[in-house]
Amino acid sequence: MQLHDLKPAKGAHRRPDRIGRGTGSGRGKTSGRGQKGQNARSEGFRLGFEGGQMPLSQRLPKLPGFKNPFKKVYAVVNLSKLSRFEDGAKVDAEALAEAGLVRPGEEVKVLGTGDLKRKLTVEAHAFSSSAREAIEARGGSVKVLGEPRKIGPRRTAAKAPKPVGGQEKAATTAAPETSSTPSDE
């Protein structure tokens, strides 16, 4: 078989119907649009028109704001739930999943609601400040899992300490005093 032998499959290339080309064509006179009426006219109706019914695009509410695509959703565990673990135990995501407090594979955040009665080593993806203080106050330790949050160059520059040069500038901008000699008249 050569390239010149290739042909399209039977029926793959149909000639388009030539509409409005006389009665003998089978698609003449009204061109398949029927008699009169809105659909027979050239304009027809606009996209999204629902025959006078309030269109879907106008029925739906348009609220302000947006949905953040980068939002972090954590499985939340309160301090009161950590009391079920034994004193000195290591509590990580797997231990919490085994205890039925979180679903396996979810990122965990520990919140400070309730009292902690034990010394625990807690590993989670995030901690509230009150939870961190309560765990450390009982002699336990806190380990944050995952990579630290990245901040852009603008926020890094904003957090950098400002140079202390305010006093030097004030001294140089002050006008030098000139002594004027009284003239004899």
Whether residue 9 lies inside any domain: the answer is: no
Is residue 143 scored above 90 in pLDDT? yes
Between CA 37 and CA 35 the distance in angstroms is 7
- The per-residue pLDDT for range 69-79, each reduced to its tens digit, is 989 899 999 99
Whether residue 10 lies inside any domain: the answer is: no
How many residues comprise the chain? 185
Between CA 74 and CA 93 the distance in angstroms is 12
Whether residue 112 lies inside any domain: the answer is: yes
- Domain span at residue 124 reads 75-144
Q: How many domains does the chain have?
A: 1
Whether residue 95 lies inside any domain: the answer is: yes
Is residue 11 scored above 80 in pLDDT? yes
Whether residue 129 lies inside any domain: the answer is: yes
CB neighbour burial string for 92-128, b if at least 16 within 10 angstroms, e if fewer? ebebbbeeebbeeeeebbbbbeeebebebebbbbbbb
For residue 131, the domain's CATH number is: 3.100.10.10
Q: Is residue 178 very low, low, confident or very high in pLDDT (cuts 50, 70, 90)?
A: low
Q: Identity (one letter) of the amino acid at 176?
A: P
Is residue 172 scored above 60 in pLDDT? no
- The per-residue pLDDT for range 35-47, each reduced to its tens digit, is 998 888 888 788 9
- pTM, to two decimals: 0.50
Between CA 174 and CA 167 the distance in angstroms is 11
